[in-house]
């Protein structure tokens, strides 16, 4: 074999090894992302994806633009590294619409000098990839502002497109799951409304508990994902009462032991009703334990942080609404009396941290209470 041939084979081999190693890195990355995206909500997937893209491509800006099919516009919540209200993008000479319509990624070295005209984009090098699910167009991925000030390579375009393809499948799935869940929640809420309509005294209870719980959570500065879980959990916390005979629920005279026991099955029944819902684990546990007492003297004997946070918050909101609502056998307490009673139960029935947040919220928003 000639020396030149050996040299050529050596180069071929090096190129193959490089290609294999790149493919291996790409596969490992896709595997890692799949693991990270699994079971997340749309918002969580987007947040994770944007963070990964920033570190992977060494860019300061990464954004996801969603296609709003009803209004036929592309919009984003985060753009150029800042949270903005929602920007809608025109169609004419717009790179985002072009990529979405052609389904092909595009890199532009000097955006200002290119044919693309667009508000907000001042960057020189940008890269855009389509987000397309199996059944629907989702939007586009946008990267700009390379940390080193350089342009994107063709390998960047290919890699971003592969990541966009993977992310699209997860986002589409999560969108579908959220659609089904919101339909289910809507149906369950109708049941609860029907339940409250047949009750002598619980009209509006669920909506008020939800409002109070979210008020407490906002003064605890909980993040948006927990707030959303709390909202659903509060709306559904008494769903188990659907199976309890009306005559017990509506009884004016005091309940006997057996009737009280029957009513107190509602947290467990509620958890069982929702047990098939994927992604609802925290919500289901929040419902199951919403009648626990912080000192361990409640329904299942769980105490302190053994009780899920959602349950500890709902417990205060639920009791506060009960205290400030009329019952056939007693008048409602005044706002002052109810607040004093909640305070006195901190560390006993309620988590002191939650009571503290409740007091902070009620001081700021006393008018939120009817």
Residues that bind Fe ion (CB under 5 A): 238
- Cβ–Cβ < 8 Å for 183, 124: no
Whichever of 238 and 292 has its CB closer to Fe ion, that residue is 238
Whichever of 156 and 238 has its CB closer to Fe ion, that residue is 238
Whichever of 130 and 298 has its CB closer to Fe ion, that residue is 298
CB of 250 to Fe ion, least distance (A): 16
Q: How would you classify residue 297: left for phi > 0, otherwise alpha for psi between -120 and 50, otherwise beta?
A: alpha
CB of 360 to Fe ion, least distance (A): 24
DSSP string, 76-114: EEEETTEEEEEEEE-STT-HHHHHHHH---EEES-GGGS
Question: Which alpha helices (H) appear in 204-291, and where do they start and end?
Answer: 205-219, 224-236, 246-249, 257-263, 266-274, 281-288
CB of 321 to Fe ion, least distance (A): 11
CB of 222 to Fe ion, least distance (A): 21
Give dist(CA 367, CA 278) in Å, integer.
37
CB of 217 to Fe ion, least distance (A): 18
- Of the chain, the end-to-end C-alpha distance in Å amounts to 93
- 73 membership: H or E segment, kind and range: strand 73-79
Give dist(CA 130, CA 144) in Å, integer.
15
CB of 162 to Fe ion, least distance (A): 49
Whichever of 130 and 267 has its CB closer to Fe ion, that residue is 267
Give dist(CA 148, CA 127) in Å, integer.
15
Whichever of 46 and 271 has its CB closer to Fe ion, that residue is 271
Taking every pair of Cα atoms in the chain, the longest distance, rounded to a whole number of angstroms, is: 104
Give dist(CA 349, CA 354) in Å, integer.
11
Residue with smallest beta-carbon separation from Fe ion? 238
3 state DSSP class of 62: strand
CB of 93 to Fe ion, least distance (A): 57
Whichever of 145 and 238 has its CB closer to Fe ion, that residue is 238
């Amino acid at each position: 074999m000639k020396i030149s041939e050996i040299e050529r084979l050596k180069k071929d081999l090096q190129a193959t090894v490089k290609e294999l190693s790149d493919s291996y890195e790409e596969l490992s990355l896709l595997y890692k992302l799949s693991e990270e995206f699994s079971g997340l909500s749309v918002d969580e997937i987007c947040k994770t994806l944007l963070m990964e893209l920033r570190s992977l491509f060494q860019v300061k800006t990464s954004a996801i633009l969603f296609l709003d099919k009803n209004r036929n516009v592309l919009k984003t919540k985060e753009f150029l590294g800042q949270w903005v209200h929602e920007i809608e993008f025109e169609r004419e000479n717009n790179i985002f619409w072009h990529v979405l319509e052609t389904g092909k990624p595009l890199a532009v070295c000097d955006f200002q000098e290119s044919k693309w005209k667009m508000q907000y984009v001042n960057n020189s090098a940008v890269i855009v990839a389509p987000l397309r699910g199996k059944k629907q167009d989702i939007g586009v991925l946008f990267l700009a502002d390379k940390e080193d000030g350089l342009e994107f390579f063709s390998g960047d375009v290919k890699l971003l497109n592969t990541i966009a393809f993977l992310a699209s499948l997860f986002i589409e799935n999560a969108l579908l799951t959220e659609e089904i869940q919101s339909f289910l929640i809507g149906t369950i809420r109708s049941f609860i409304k029907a339940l409250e309509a047949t009750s002598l005294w619980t009209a509006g209870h669920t909506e008020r508990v939800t409002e109070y719980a979210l008020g407490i959570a906002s003064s605890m500065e909980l993040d948006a994902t927990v707030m959303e879980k709390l909202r659903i959990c509060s709306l559904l916390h008494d769903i188990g009462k659907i199976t309890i005979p009306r005559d017990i629920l509506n009884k004016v005279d005091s309940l006997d032991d057996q009737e009280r026991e029957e009513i107190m099955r509602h947290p467990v029944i509620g958890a069982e009703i929702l047990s098939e819902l994927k992604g609802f684990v925290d919500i289901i546990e929040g419902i199951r334990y919403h009648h626990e007492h912080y000192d361990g003297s409640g329904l299942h004997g769980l105490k302190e942080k053994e009780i899920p946070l959602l349950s500890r918050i709902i417990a205060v909101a639920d009791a506060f609404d009960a205290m400030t609502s009329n019952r056939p056998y007693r008048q409602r307490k005044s706002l002052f009396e109810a607040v004093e009673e909640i305070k006195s139960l901190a560390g006993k029935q309620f988590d002191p941290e939650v009571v503290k947040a409740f007091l902070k919220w009620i001081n700021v928003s006393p008018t939120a209470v009817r």
